[in-house]
Structure 1
Amino acid sequence: MALLGPTLTLASIVLMELHRTRAKKKASDTLEDLAFIKREFGIMQTFLVDAAAATTSASFKLAWFRRIRDLAHDAEDSIQEFFLHVEKPPRTTSSRLLLPLDAITKQMRNLRREIEHVNQSCGIYANAAFRFNTAAAPPQSNSGTRVAASRNALLIGRESERSHLIKLISQDQEQCETIFICGMIGIGKTSLVRGVYQSKNIGSIFEQRAWVTISHPLNIREFVTSLTQTNIKIVVITKDAIIAEHCSTTCKYIYKLEGLKDNEAPALFKNKVFMDSSNIELHPDMTTQAKLIIKECDGHPLAITNIAGFLARKPKTTTEWRKLNDDFSAGSRRNRSLEMISTALAPSYDDLPYHLKLCLLYLSVFPKGHNIRRRRLVRRWVAEGYDTSMNAEEVCANYFAELINRNIIQPSEKIAHNASNIQYCHVHNLIRKISISKSMEENHVFVFDSRFVKHGTIRHVSIINTTDMDKNILKDADLSHVRSVTVFGEWRASLDSRKMRLLRVLDLEGTSGLKDHDLVQIGNFLHLRYFSLRGCVDINQLPDSLGNLWDLKVLDVSGTNIIKLPKTIVKLKKLQYLRAGKVPKDDVLYSSELEESSDLSKMVHGAIDDVELPDLVSKTVQFSTKLDTTAAYCTNIVQNTDKVKKRDIFHKYYNVLLPSIPWGIDIYGVEAPDGIGQLNDLWTLGVVNVAVGKTILRDLEELKKLHKLGLTSVNQKNSQSVMSVIANLFLLHSLSLRAEGDQGLEDCLDHKFSPPSKLQSLKIYGNLVTLPTWITQLQNLTKLKLQSTQLKLDLSLEVLGKLLHLAILRLWMNSFQGKELCFNFQQETFLSLAVMELKDQEGLKSLTFMQGAMPRLVLLQIDNSIHIDENGLSGVSSLPSLREVMLKGDHNEELIKNLRDQITLNQNQPVLKGA
């Protein structure tokens, strides 16, 4: 027995050493597999870029492309899951979500074998890419026929554009200016210009004319020798708007060709279907079907021509046309209508580089007709890893600009000529159909709606809730590879972290019916990089488990009822964008970002359970220090509300808003926890209440990478410290300052202060009376918004007019003092201003632009100018760069008539909208 103990001990040591040796070998094998997969992943990415540029569409090569792409996705997933196990310190999380290390290493081993098998059986990726690029291009006969047909087609529905272009050429023939016609592929640019070129009007003006086709890539020698004239009018057709903007001397010579109008498209459709019998009267049922077909074509001439040509060869019956519309509705990628559309618009997709193809496919996440916010889209691309550089957001913003300039996506409301000023875009209906078809073909995006059918591997999920949609729609779907989930409409699904282990993007923006308890599992999505609850008005707090999301880069909870961020947020060291706080009901510019979906358009900020918070209560919540006063108002609200809702309403008012009163919180900002200064990668932060918290100002000063900052509750007590913090944020590009109440910001911003030299955007909300002296130092300032500042008019305009780089100026309600406001913009002021917006200036009596003022103004927008009389607006004809005048709200009819007369006299011929 005495020898037994040492023997057992020795045996244990030998056994432990044996296990350790095996573990070392296993770890070595795993690291070898990891290195192999990482190396092959880089090669596969290069292959995918090269293969995407190939012209061939042979099915076996496309299958090869998809196989490599799927392997690349699997490789990336395995690498990320492996790193979750080796990160230090480890995260505390649910074991049911995180795969055991043995399972991951087994996955990696199997993946390596599969990659090696593909290599051995099909050759190295580089050779495959070579075969892609050297494959014979598909026959061009169809394309040539299509172009020929387009050239010989009657110029239907373009009479006004044709007349305008002829007039422009005729008026400016002595100046030899170059005119640019830009628009998406197939929109009719060539047909329009050819119609002008062949017109008798132009023939009588020019003795010699030439039609020159420039090859791509450009052979400059051939091009120059083809131009034998020294004095030419040149009309350039391009699908890339950036070419026109760079080369044209003035916007007057850039003509953006849009789709056919509602009354023009039917004429083209009937002409192509019935040939010489285009005046035939259609049966009401056929008219209905024709309207549906034309609507799907979204005013696109080439798509209308292709589909009408197809119908011309079919029996001209309601039944036949209904079949075509059923094709559209079915959403199948293998239907006649989509094939015809693809034929018309395929070059729009095929000509894109690989990174832009990915971006375009990603747009199929959004529903038909949806206004897509630029920042939302760009930040999602970053989260998906479409660019991994240090300035990834800037790179992805350039991707957005490229798609705009190529006319692949279109601005919903273009406020200036620069793509960076476009806040919203939408996808042409036909382009969207192609992107959906390609996405489903490549297992890129899948849309769950009432027409859901089972599908293969799914990586991006879009849930479009409809009234007849099954609540358990995701129950049977394989979501193990899903990287993003986006919900539109009412929240009906559930977040099952076990089924979506690899989730990177969770976008619930504008989702109605989402409650706090729906977020319980959020801390289990360890790969999450983008999380948005923007506009989810029933969310009152974030769970502490949010602190598990160490990879999170974007967190947007603005427009919710969250007034305090959890302490665990300080663990999110990779967080770059953090936005929170309520949105003022009168802040249309920002709140419009929250109204993208039909649900959000009905939302009233500051309202709970459809009961609007009275102004008196709102003020009490912000400024009162007496609990009993607000409690009395809460009780009053309950007494005047439906009995069923009494308990819930009182609970929310009392428990959500009431706790904020002792701390002085206003509803436009949130309380940030101590230690938020540890989030060293923060790029954007707002809106933070600086009147609460012991260390908030000290923490803010630590955030040296901040580019955008929004602060509220600035007051006389903390203002000097606030300004000191701002002065030390050297990279700050955008700053928003707010203070509520009668005192507002008065005497708060006048401290000795050196503003950050890079500051480009400034927003000020709250009583100010006089502009701070340091504003004259903001020589890089390009955007300025003022609201409720109650400034003295003449002195303030004199100061602002000298800001050399100011490009966008928004003067909103109560930005200036006085019951009668007379804006007089003097000569040589606002020399760089491109956008001028006057909103809700109730006392506005007159608006005058002197000769030489605002020489670069592109857009003039006036909201609610009912008090301006017919002669109160003058000098519009002298604005040399003006493209558009936008009137919103109520206006004097005589004023509009006078304005039209002035616009007619403006040499740039701007358009008047909204009147």
Structure 2
Amino acid sequence: MHPFNPHEFARGFMAQVYAANACAKKLEGTDVGVHVLNKMEATQEDLSKLFLEEVNTKMYIVVLENLTELVDWDAVRTFLPDRVNGSWIIVSTQQFDIASLCVGYSYQQLELKQFSPDHSVFAFFKGSQVFYGDQEDKSMLCEMKLNSSLEKLCSSDMTAVTEWRDNFPLVGRESEMSELRNHTAKAYFSDSPIISVLGIAGIGKSALVRNLYYDRMLQTNQFTKYSWVDISHPFNLRDFSRSLLLDHDSNKDPIKECHDVLSKHKCLIVIDDLQSKEEWDLIKAALVSRPSSSVIIAITTEASLATYCASNEEQVFNVKGLEAAAAMELFRNEVYRKNQSGPLKSHNSVELEELIMKCGGLPKVIVSIAALLATQTVTLMDTVHSLNHKFMHRLETNLEYDGLRGLFEWMHSYFRTCPDSLKPCIFYLSIFPRGQIIRRRRLVRRWIAEGYSRDSDEESAVEKGEKFFSKLLDLSIIQQIPQLVTTAFSDARMVSCQVNGFIREYIVSRRMEENLVFELGANCVLTTQRTGRHLIILESWDRDMIVFESIDFSRLRSLTVFGKWEPFFISKSMRLLRVLDLEDASGLKDEDLIEMVKRLRRLKFLSLRGCREVFHLPSSLGDLRQLQTLDVRHTSIVRLPKNIVKLEKLQYIRAGTTISALTPPAPSSSLLKFRRRRGLLGVQVPKGIGKLTALHTLGVVNVSASGGKAIVEELKKLTQLRKLGVSGINRQNSKDFFSAISGHVHLESLLVRFAKDNQGPLDGIPLPCKNLQSLKLYGLQEKLPLPWNQLSKLRKLDVEMTTLEKTDIELLAKLPNLCILRLLVKQPQDGKLHFYAEMYAEQLATFEKVKILEIGCSSSELHVIFGSKSMKNLELLKIDCSSATYKLTGLNYQTELKEVLLKGTNDEAFRAEFASQLASHPKRPSVKLEELPQLS
């Protein structure tokens, strides 16, 4: 009937039930019609109760005739929840959109009969369905368009909500749920009522929001009306408005009705599948433009759209993939739910773990694979092996994974339409093995050397490369390493990242189509098909020279080696090579470098980082006139060659080595701790280094070993420096050094290591403060020599000093934008660190933006005291337990604390005891151990 009337719907339903029952029981002497009329004389209230009992306890088949509006379907589904008991709903309609949307996102279509070219009969029915992730089936279990006030929800609806939460619990999302609740609370109590929830398709953002939505319904009276709207495309504002109103009066304008509802009620409105700014502009102008106490959550896959919708950037919530442990837990939960006695219940294997890693933490993919494997018995491991071998091909082509079709459609669409400038950066990510930790600067510097990021009139190549990195991060193509709680800076400035496992598999499945990347790994054989621009040599490859020499290197632009180095890896035909990345490769010797420089004259990027067996750079290095990036950090190189000053295009030099690279292995763990604290030693640089005026990154330079005041004069010429690290600063050269760099207005990061027991007074020494964001001071004695009132942009501070007094900490508290604070103190005043400040016996709000705090102490005991108004945004606390024992007071005041990391110990009992001390903390932060390196 039109308009839809729920009371008449229930009466019509029950009339047919009574008639069917009468016929089934063959009531003798009773006219069926009279029997039905007698039954229908019950009051509306009694009839409603009987209706609810019928649909909640019986298996039913319902045919809906002449359905013309989706809003009517939404209303019907409210009264006919899916109990997963075999009940059916058949919808008859002449509209394609209505038919497909009623069935849900994943459906199959069958043509029954064609009457004419313009008139056919089609059946739409559910395909393989996944009830977790972004595009949940719109006719899913307990699906409701809940626009009723909480008080008016019938008991069956509330039961349905509870059942959904019980059947589909979130796994590994506890911290995200907590953060999303905080976002909602902030939106509710502020003038920023809009939250954007961002994430790629399949990441589980809708499931996360749905849990919040139901949570608010069941546990709070914060909102009086609730509405969940899945936007239809093309978008129609009037239809959208009707979807917000379950009890819409067809005689009224739905847009005006929405205005009235929003002005009179505190609503929680979820808008799912928002796809364009134009859609949001219409919604905002019509519904959100007026003052309201409602909160609106917009769910989208587009980062720019999420920012556009939100009231401010802090109200954009980016949903990330599940961590490895949570992904495996979700997989096992789903398998157990579908087959409690199957072999996967307790099955463990490396292949199975590898398969789940390839899912990239995407719940939709994990659940789809679980659904298939739960049915496997004898062929289980064969299926796992087959999936691992051709992962992406199987998911895209097998009908069992039809529920992932939307995810692949999104990925195909994105890779088709993403900017041409970004595509090579995306495919380039497949160079790094699955699970590889990638430093941001390593990736950006490689992009620059490849020519993917170039200088322009508007911005430098570095700035453009950083923007590319940020875009890939927004899309969750690359992501923060799961073990890190936060970077405190924006995510785009994170030090290290990983490629999403699922996205990487997608890229790898297509990289040969672009003829870009090829690799030598396990089981490689002789073939003429290995050619391309980028070669990867994996650790698993058996280093077969015959296979290597059969490859055509004439188009090769980059060579990346993981594992053991072999001299034959450098070929005469690699004349066009731009990038040689040997980070952490083993077996590389000084004589190999001579051959490299001789043959690879066009190199722009050379990384020997972590190659401990390299002691000297050849003097012929000066012949690499195109070189832009040189990274020899963590090698055994202690001086740079004289001819390096000929490399006028050099922009980036990273050097410096640890003590352990120059001396025999540590005989005891105590010495290992000492070496770890000492950190990097600077290298000696030649006279004339000031000629390299293009340098924007340089470090670590040993000023004392490089000539003292003479080298200071050279550093003074490098006015374009953004990042500088020096060691060997003493009482003879300190004032000259700081004076020399005081005019470096572009400097953003500065590391200074003072010589031991050779530090003079540093009062009044000028610093390049204007743009300084990161400052590391190691080896200080008793006083912090800093102009605190000028360091307004400082966000990261590392301090290592002998004594740290309470007045020093009070000075640090005045840094307005400090996010990361690391303190290593030999002997704190009175054995205490006081993280608070007082005025007139009242505590002040201090360290307001600090999110990461790291504490180390070489004395036997340290008492750390937090104030009730200090570090209220602290998320991560790191404690070095290698020397001192700690007493923590006031930690419960840190209400945002998510994790405590214990460094310098592998004692699980100690970790457990520490965790028990935090049992009463309101956030219940996790307590973890940072593994110690093994002695060689």
Match of 1:605 in 2: 661
**Contact 2:332–2:345 (Cα < 8 Å) also in 1:** no
Identical-pair percentage: 32
Which one-letter code corresponds to 2:823 in the other structure?
A: L
Match of 2:835 in 1: 824
Match of 2:928 in 1: 914
Which one-letter code corresponds to 2:559 in the other structure?
A: V
Match of 2:407 in 1: 344
Match of 1:531 in 2: 606
Match of 2:64 in 1: none
Match of 1:681 in 2: 694
Judged with a 3 Å threshold, the aligned counterparts in structure 2 of structure 1 residues 462 and 402 are, in CA distance, closer, same or farther, namely: same
Q: 1:362 aligns with which of 425, 428, 431?
A: 428
- Distance (Å, rounded) in 1 between the aligned partners of 2:829 and 2:219: 59
Match of 2:93 in 1: none
**Contact 2:531–2:551 (Cα < 8 Å) also in 1:** no
Match of 2:736 in 1: 721
CA deviation map 1:509-541 (0-9, x unaligned): 111111111112222322211100011000011
1:304 maps to 2:366: yes
Judged with a 3 Å threshold, the aligned counterparts in structure 2 of structure 1 residues 518 and 234 are, in CA distance, closer, same or farther, namely: same
1:836 maps to 2:911: no
Structural mapping, 1:701-850, within 5 Å: 701-741=716-756, 743-747=757-761, 749-750=762-763, 752-753=765-766, 755-787=768-800, 789-814=801-826, 817=828, 820-826=831-837, 827-840=844-857, 842-850=859-867
**Contact 2:275–2:300 (Cα < 8 Å) also in 1:** no
Unaligned runs of 5+ in 1: 1-138, 585-603, 624-665
**Contact 1:181–1:236 (Cα < 8 Å) also in 2:** yes
1:504 maps to 2:606: no
- Distance (Å, rounded) in 1 between the aligned partners of 2:700 and 2:857: 24
Judged with a 3 Å threshold, the aligned counterparts in structure 2 of structure 1 residues 528 and 310 are, in CA distance, closer, same or farther, namely: same
Match of 2:203 in 1: 187
**Contact 2:336–2:342 (Cα < 8 Å) also in 1:** no
**Contact 1:730–1:757 (Cα < 8 Å) also in 2:** yes
Judged with a 3 Å threshold, the aligned counterparts in structure 2 of structure 1 residues 394 and 791 are, in CA distance, closer, same or farther, namely: farther
Say which SS state the counterpart of residue 355 (structure 1) adopts. coil
1:322 maps to 2:381: yes
Structural mapping, 1:366-377, within 5 Å: 366-377=432-443
**Contact 1:724–1:753 (Cα < 8 Å) also in 2:** yes
Judged with a 3 Å threshold, the aligned counterparts in structure 2 of structure 1 residues 447 and 744 are, in CA distance, closer, same or farther, namely: farther
User: 1:577, CA displacement in angstroms?
Assistant: 0.4
Say which SS state the counterpart of residue 426 (structure 1) adopts. strand
- Distance (Å, rounded) in 2 between the aligned partners of 1:680 and 1:570: 10
Say which SS state the counterpart of residue 785 (structure 1) adopts. strand
Match of 1:637 in 2: none
User: 1:400, CA displacement in angstroms?
Assistant: 1.5
**Structure 2 length-normalised TM:** 0.66
Q: 1:897 aligns with which of 912, 916, 925?
A: 916
CA deviation map 1:729-783 (0-9, x unaligned): 3322221111343x14343x33643545322222111143212254543333222
User: 1:415, CA displacement in angstroms?
Assistant: 2.7
Match of 1:223 in 2: 283
Root-mean-square deviation (Å):
4.1
Judged with a 3 Å threshold, the aligned counterparts in structure 2 of structure 1 residues 215 and 759 are, in CA distance, closer, same or farther, namely: closer
- Distance (Å, rounded) in 1 between the aligned partners of 2:497 and 2:424: 17
**Contact 2:488–2:819 (Cα < 8 Å) also in 1:** no
**Contact 1:900–1:912 (Cα < 8 Å) also in 2:** no
Which one-letter code corresponds to 1:785 in the other structure?
A: D
**Contact 1:607–1:613 (Cα < 8 Å) also in 2:** no
Judged with a 3 Å threshold, the aligned counterparts in structure 2 of structure 1 residues 225 and 484 are, in CA distance, closer, same or farther, namely: same
Q: 2:593 aligns with which of 493, 507, 519?
A: 519
1:392 maps to 2:461: yes
User: 1:188, CA displacement in angstroms?
Assistant: 2.1
- Distance (Å, rounded) in 2 between the aligned partners of 1:172 and 1:615: 48
- Distance (Å, rounded) in 2 between the aligned partners of 1:227 and 1:567: 69
User: 1:438, CA displacement in angstroms?
Assistant: 1.8
Judged with a 3 Å threshold, the aligned counterparts in structure 2 of structure 1 residues 862 and 612 are, in CA distance, closer, same or farther, namely: closer
**Contact 2:556–2:574 (Cα < 8 Å) also in 1:** yes
Match of 1:152 in 2: 140
Judged with a 3 Å threshold, the aligned counterparts in structure 2 of structure 1 residues 295 and 559 are, in CA distance, closer, same or farther, namely: closer
User: 1:669, CA displacement in angstroms?
Assistant: 1.6
Judged with a 3 Å threshold, the aligned counterparts in structure 2 of structure 1 residues 142 and 216 are, in CA distance, closer, same or farther, namely: farther
CA deviation map 1:95-146 (0-9, x unaligned): xxxxxxxxxxxxxxxxxxxxxxxxxxxxxxxxxxxxxxxxxxxx99789967
**Contact 2:545–2:568 (Cα < 8 Å) also in 1:** no
Task: Name the count of aligned residue pairs.
Answer: 694
Instruction: Indicate the structure with greater strand content.
Output: 2
- Distance (Å, rounded) in 2 between the aligned partners of 1:342 and 1:307: 14
**Contact 1:534–1:557 (Cα < 8 Å) also in 2:** yes
Unaligned runs of 5+ in 2: 1-104, 110-125, 130-134, 142-163, 232-273, 838-843, 930-936
1:873 maps to 2:878: no
- Distance (Å, rounded) in 2 between the aligned partners of 1:142 and 1:583: 62
Say which SS state the counterpart of residue 776 (structure 2) adopts. strand
Match of 1:232 in 2: 294
- Distance (Å, rounded) in 2 between the aligned partners of 1:465 and 1:308: 31
Which one-letter code corresponds to 2:759 in the other structure?
A: L
Judged with a 3 Å threshold, the aligned counterparts in structure 2 of structure 1 residues 243 and 800 are, in CA distance, closer, same or farther, namely: farther
Say which SS state the counterpart of residue 918 (structure 2) adopts. helix
Which one-letter code corresponds to 2:563 in the other structure?
A: G
Structural mapping, 1:60-459, within 5 Å: 147=135, 149=137, 152=140, 156-158=168-170, 175=189, 178=194, 181-194=197-210, 197=213, 201-202=217-218, 208-212=225-229, 213=231, 214-220=274-280, 222-224=282-284, 227=287, 230-239=292-301, 247=310, 254=317, 256=319, 258-259=321-322, 260-269=326-335, 271=337, 278-282=339-343, 293-308=355-370, 316-319=376-379, 321-330=380-389, 334-335=393-394, 344-345=407-408, 347-348=410-411, 350-351=413-414, 352-389=418-455, 391-412=460-481, 413=484, 414-416=486-488, 418-452=490-524, 454=527, 455-459=529-533
Match of 2:715 in 1: 700
Match of 1:65 in 2: none
**Contact 2:788–2:814 (Cα < 8 Å) also in 1:** no
Which one-letter code corresponds to 2:649 in the other structure?
A: K
- Distance (Å, rounded) in 2 between the aligned partners of 1:219 and 1:751: 58
Which one-letter code corresponds to 1:712 in the other structure?
A: S
- Distance (Å, rounded) in 2 between the aligned partners of 1:863 and 1:201: 44
- Distance (Å, rounded) in 2 between the aligned partners of 1:874 and 1:898: 11
CA deviation map 1:571-613 (0-9, x unaligned): 11000001111136xxxxxxxxxxxxxxxxxxx53445x5779
Say which SS state the counterpart of residue 812 (structure 1) adopts. strand
- Distance (Å, rounded) in 2 between the aligned partners of 1:172 and 1:832: 17
**Contact 1:821–1:843 (Cα < 8 Å) also in 2:** no
- Distance (Å, rounded) in 2 between the aligned partners of 1:736 and 1:392: 24
- Distance (Å, rounded) in 1 between the aligned partners of 2:333 and 2:672: 58
User: 1:337, CA displacement in angstroms?
Assistant: 6.9
Say which SS state the counterpart of residue 425 (structure 2) adopts. helix
- Distance (Å, rounded) in 1 between the aligned partners of 2:363 and 2:904: 34
Match of 2:234 in 1: none
**Contact 1:679–1:703 (Cα < 8 Å) also in 2:** yes
User: 1:227, CA displacement in angstroms?
Assistant: 4.4
Bigger radius of gyration among the two: 2
